[in-house]
Structures are given as structure tokens and as C-alpha cells.
Structure 1
Amino acid sequence: MRQGFFCFVAGGGIFLILCSFFFTLFAFGEELRMIREMGISTIVVCCLFLASLSAANTISKEIEKGTIVMLLSKPVDKHSVILGKFFGILAAVSSVFIVMGTLLTVLLCVRESLDLHIGFLTSFAMAGYPTVFQLVFSFLPVAIMCAVATAGSVYLNLISNLCCCMVIYIVGNLASFFHDLFPSVTNWSLWYLSLVYAFIPDLEDIGAIGMGAKVEFMSYSYMASLLMIYAVLYIAFVITLAIEFFEKKECR
């Protein structure tokens, strides 16, 4: 968090959140929704950049400099290194996410309070609570990509890891599109593609819940609960793989 790019990205995100209140002056009747969506998108993009850039270089940088050997010479297990790096980076990114999310929520509540001439608590129930709920689920893709970048840093350098994270993020947000291209499994190639699809995080549905999309085939809370459990299990799976890879890697 002492690095300059943390403050630069956080400051840029805060500036864009403030600007979003002026970009929606002509969105009659949809100002609140547009400001919320623009603000949440800004927060997610900024935190994704911070998480991916920080986690992608966390282990590989230690291996290149040789400091990982000094660390492992102490009574420190390799799984403790992975867990410490992941949760440390996630905590740093969470602090930026919380600051920007709190600012967005407060500004939305103040705006609704002034426009509708209601109390702050009433405006929080109308605009603040839905924003907090969507922010919680918008943080899940950030945590998932932080885990993916941490796992990739065991064997990949910074540039390669960031490229892989970018591909995984794009494919994860286009999961249904790629899945519809191969609706049936009739041969080995399609089976292979379905297997790859199963290992790609479903960021599309998580992002839809984070943006408050309507769920028609089941209740909103039920779908949100399933996606929360899915995200936690996927992060646990990726971190477990990272620990296994790091245990087998010979550090010199």
C-alpha cells in the first residue's frame, strides 16, 4: 500500500466516481441507476487492476531476487507463504474497495436525500442498501482474479501472468457465449472444450448479480447465495492448486 500506483489508482477511481454525477445529467429518471452502475464499474476495474498487478508479481519476484530462499530457510511453510501473499494483497485491495465503495454509497444517499427532501436513513434504505449489496458481489470477481494471479505467479513472470489473467477474465465474462457455441458434447474435442469451460470462473453471472440484473428463473437471494458459495469454493480450489504447485517447485 506504500507503493505510488496504489494511491494513483485509488485517486483516479475516486475522481471518476465524482465525475459520474455529471455524466448522467441528461439521463431522465435513470440517474440513480446509471451513477450506481458507473461507480461500481469504476471500483471493480480499479481494484481488478490493483489485485492482478500486485498478485501477479508476488511469488515470481521473490523467486527472481532469491529472497524466497531466505524466507523458506526460516520455520515458514510454503503454504503459509501462499496464504500470506493472497490474504495480504486481498486485504490491501479490500481497503481501497471499501474506501471507494463507502464514498459512492454516501454520495448516492446524500444526493437522494437532497433531491427527494428525505432523511439520510430513508435515503440509505432506498439507494444505499442496494448499493452495498451490489458492491459485496462486485468484489467477488476481484477476489477470484487475485487468487488466479497469485497461483500463476508461482511459475509465470509478471507479463505472462497478466496476459493469462486477462484471457481468463475475458473468457469468464463471456462464459455463456462460449458455452452456446458448443451446446452438445459429441466428440473428444468438444469434451475437452467443456472441461476447459468448467475450470474457467463464471464471472458473467457474478457480475450480473453485482450490477443488480433481474433473475427470472429463480429468486434473486437464492441465486446470490449460490454465486457467493461458488466464488468461495473456486477461490479455495485455486489457492489449493497454488499451494500444491509451490510445494513441488524447487526454489534456488
Structure 2
Amino acid sequence: MNGCIFSIAVNTIREVTRQSMFYFIICGGILLIFLSFFFTLFAFGEETRMIQEMGISTIMICCLCLASLSATITISSELEKGTMMTLLCKPVNKKSILFGKFFGILAIVFLSCGMMGLFLTVSLSIKDSLEYHKGLLSSFADIGYSVFFELVCSFFQAAIICSIAIAGALYIPMVSNLSLCLFIYAMGNSTYFFQKLFQGNEEGFPWYASIFFIFFPNLSGLNTIGARIGFQKFNLAYVALLLLYAILYIMLVIMLTCEFFNKRECK
């Protein structure tokens, strides 16, 4: 079973990297990161911080789009064309197929996140080195520390969206799946807002509001802690709990997707 998952994951990586949209999204993300240096010319001392925040947001949106589009290419198109039956005719079950697709797409997202993150880190290091007349390696170490942790938290956000994109790819087309992922990403980053809103209510926290926190992932927690690490002291236990929450949420979504996929008839 593990060999089947690995083979499907490798084939998924090859299939996605052959698509022009893979290079278009990465090059587009790198271009937007480069242009962010010109958008912050009048930030008065906050240029580096603003560029970093804009760069991380750009990387996150690019990874989200890449995960959604890759899931559509590797799952929805195969279900529509009937090529999924070719895999099912072999000694491989639907669970292995789904896990193989997930790990393949996750590897693509990881590669894209790393490439764009490296460009952001090198660019900020060069800028910091020229501004403060520091060594390039020293600037790279300082900038890379904060960028690395933000990228880790962003990757876990992308992994959550990736699991949701795979679930959506089984039933809805590309545009709808991308819209669903963007909607969940926006709502997931609004959990703190809704929490403060309901806490300020005199009637207390309504029971139906808890449904929101069950179905929508707490992306705002990952986003907030990622932005603070490297610049302030942070609670390591809290970070570990957030990452554990992300892993458990991904496992829950994938297992539920496997159950629904097993009940679906492939033609």
C-alpha cells in the first residue's frame, strides 16, 4: 500500500509540473514579490516588514491557487475522463489513490512555497545588507529566521486548504473548487474577528456560533503566530498546539474524504 501511495504521489508531481499553470503561478508570485519593493517606498522605516508581510501573503495565495488547480487537474479531470478506472483496475484501492494525490499535491505546494520563500529571503537580505552596510550572510541569517517560521505556518495553512481542495475536487468543477477554497481561507482567517464579536455580546457565546469554529479551520491562529515569531517572544507550547491542530484537521478532512470517495461510483 505504501508503495502504491508513493508511486501515485510521484506521478502526480510529474503531471502537475508538466502543466504551464504551475510555472505561471510561481513566476507570477515571484513577480508580485519583486513589485512589492516598489509599493512600499513611502513606508518610512517599515519597508522591510511590509515587504515581508506582502510577500508571505502572496506566497500563501499562490499556494492556495496551486493546490486547488492541481486537485482539479489530477482528480476532477480523471473522474470526468474515466481514467480513474485504470488505476482502480489495478491492485490499488481508493484510499491509496486519494492519499497519493494528497501527498503529491502537498509536495508541489511545498516546492512552490520554498522557491518563492527563498526569493523573498534573498531579496530582503540584499536590501537589508545595502541599507545597513551589513554582511550578506549576516542579513540572510537575520531575515531568514523570521521568514522561515512564517513560511512554516503558511505551509500548514496551505496544507489544510490542500486537503479541502481534494475533497472539493471529487464533486465540483475547477472554478467552484477554487472559489470554495478562497472562501474557506477568508473565513478561516476571520475566526478571531467572530470570536471577539460574539464575546462582546451580552447574551454570551451562542451555541450556533460554535458550529463556525468546527467547520472552518483556525487559520487566523497560524497566521498570527507566524507573523510574531522571530520578532517577539513566543510560547513554544502554543505553537506546537496550533501545528498539532492543523495536522489533526488535515487528517480529519482526508479520512472523511476517503469515506465519501469509497461510496462514490467511478465510471
Shared fold, TM over 0.5 = yes
1-structure distance, mates of 2:31, 2:181: 26
Aligned to 1:122: 138
Does 2:265 correspond to 1:250? yes
Task: Flag the 1:203–1:71 CA change in 2: closer, same or farther, 3 A.
Answer: same
Does 2:195 correspond to 1:142? no
Aligned to 2:255: 240
Does 2:221 correspond to 1:205? yes
2-structure distance, mates of 1:84, 1:8: 24
Aligned to 2:40: 24
How many angstroms does 1:169 deviate by?
A: 1.8
Aligned to 1:230: 245
1-structure distance, mates of 2:212, 2:39: 40
> Once superposed, which parts of structure 1, at least 4 consecutive aligned residues long, lie more than 4 Å away?
180-184, 213-216
1-structure distance, mates of 2:157, 2:190: 14
CA contact (8 A) 1:58 1:150 kept: no
2-structure distance, mates of 1:205, 1:215: 16
How many angstroms does 1:194 deviate by?
A: 1.7
Aligned to 2:173: 157
Aligned to 1:173: 189
**Farther off after superposition, 113-122 or 239-248:** 113-122
Aligned to 1:131: 147
Task: Flag the 1:119–1:48 CA change in 2: closer, same or farther, 3 A.
Answer: same
Aligned to 1:15: 31
1:70-81 counterparts in 2 under 5 A? 70-81=86-97
2-structure distance, mates of 1:215, 1:105: 16
1-structure distance, mates of 2:115, 2:178: 25
How many angstroms does 1:193 deviate by?
A: 4.1
CA contact (8 A) 1:90 1:146 kept: yes
2-structure distance, mates of 1:223, 1:40: 21
Task: Flag the 1:212–1:69 CA change in 2: closer, same or farther, 3 A.
Answer: same
Tell me the amino acid that sits aligned with residue 131 of structure 1. V
Task: Flag the 1:215–1:35 CA change in 2: closer, same or farther, 3 A.
Answer: closer
Task: Structure 2: state its 5+ residue gaps.
Answer: 1-16
CA contact (8 A) 1:44 1:142 kept: yes
Report % sequence identity: 52
- The root-mean-square deviation of aligned C-alpha atoms, in Å, is 2.4
2-structure distance, mates of 1:156, 1:121: 47
1-structure distance, mates of 2:89, 2:170: 18
CA contact (8 A) 1:175 1:204 kept: yes
2-structure distance, mates of 1:27, 1:3: 38
Which whole-Å deviations, capped at 9, do the CAs of 1:37-73 have from their partners, x for residues lacking one? 1111111111111111222453222111111112101
2-structure distance, mates of 1:70, 1:14: 38
Question: 54, 57, 65: which is aligned to 1:49?
Answer: 65
Q: Secondary structure at the match of 2:228?
A: coil
How many angstroms does 1:24 deviate by?
A: 1.8
Does 2:102 correspond to 1:86? yes
2-structure distance, mates of 1:173, 1:54: 23
Which whole-Å deviations, capped at 9, do the CAs of 1:93-134 have from their partners, x for residues lacking one? 221111110011111112212222222332133222111111
Instruction: Provide the TM-score with structure 1 as the length reference.
Output: 0.89
